Amino acid sequence: MLPTPSTDHVAFDRIYEPAEDSFLLLDTLSSEAEEEFLKSCFNPKLESQNVGSSPCALVVEIGTGSGVVLSFLHAHAEIIFGRSDVLTWGVDVNRFACEATSQTVQFAEQDQRKESRPHGFYLGNVLGDLTSCFRSGEVDVLVFNPPYVPTTELPSIPSEELNGRVKTTFEDDSKLLELSYAGGVDGMETTDRLLEELPGVLSSRGVGYILLCAQNRPEQVKRRIQGWGEEWRVETVRTSGKKGGWEKLQIIRIWRAKPE
């Protein structure tokens, strides 16, 4: 099992603390099956004998929070993707989460260097909304642990004033934390927006990993993706196990079929 990056430095009063959903993503992305799949997409030795024909991959996490998932992919890029020349980039609407992710990546890099192990190339974190900062066809791997809890209202994106404050009130912190879990109707309002953007932002070899809970109606989500066109594929690649209640989680993988 690959080591999980430390988040001991993160203040969880305004940033989502890694929980079952975060660790399910780590288990998924480091599983034998997903490592094999990702290497088939991005490892130049498997793609072609000519390394120069296989550009490095851009790996993006939307909504980085503490940075535990992005740092994990960054630190273990060579094992997961079969190459260490992987570019990692994070996005979050919460400035404090962006800063925390940068620190988490730095600590993960230090741990890798202590063991003389390679890591990816971190491009930084952007304060932004979903994929708005990316060009068409730019992202190779997109990971999204969305706010998936059904709620009566969807919280608004933080104002520049709130994101710019050095000190925040308890009310401010509550608003920032709400962004990490409140998903509106069926818990899908933010995920629906991401799905609308996904076909345009993924590269031709792009792969998306999105976490869903039972109340998000995952089978309906998968049928929607299948309706994008014949080349699109979607599959549940991991679940949190069989248990009652809507908290049951699953990770779906979205990609384009390779031409035969």
Task: Report residue 243's pLDDT band, with 50, 70 and 90 as the boundaries.
Answer: low
pLDDT tens digits, 98-137? 999 999 999 999 999 998 899 999 999 999 999 999 999 9
Quick: pLDDT tens for 149-172.
999 988 888 877 677 777 888 888
Specify the long-range contacts of residues 41-46, CB closer than 8 Å, at least 24 apart.
41/140, 41/205, 41/207, 41/255, 42/81, 42/82, 42/83, 42/86, 42/140, 42/141, 42/205, 43/81, 43/82, 43/83, 44/82, 44/83, 45/82, 46/82
For residue 259, the model assigns a pLDDT of 67
In this predicted model, which residue has the larger pLDDT, 168 or 38? 38
pLDDT for the residue numbered 159:
78
Q: What is the pTM of this model?
A: 0.92
Greatest CA separation for the chain: 57
Rounded Cα gap, residues 235 and 30, in angstroms: 17
For position 49, what pLDDT does the model report?
A: 42
Confidence category of residue 46, pLDDT binned at 50, 70, 90: low
More confident call, 216 vs 155: 216
At residue 175, the pLDDT reads 87
The rounded mean pLDDT for the chain is 89
What pLDDT score does 69 carry?
A: 97
Q: Taking 60 as the threshold, does the pLDDT of residue 210 lie above it?
A: yes
Q: Which of 40, 105, 107 minimizes the C-alpha distance to 73?
A: 105
| Burial group, residue 229, by CB count within 10 angstroms (0-12, 13-18, 19+) | exposed
Q: Does the pLDDT at position 29 exceed 60? A: yes
Mean pLDDT, residues 184-211: 95
Which band of pLDDT confidence, cut at 50, 70 and 90, is reported for residue 2?
confident
Do 206 and 143 contact (CB within 8 A), yes or no?
Answer: no
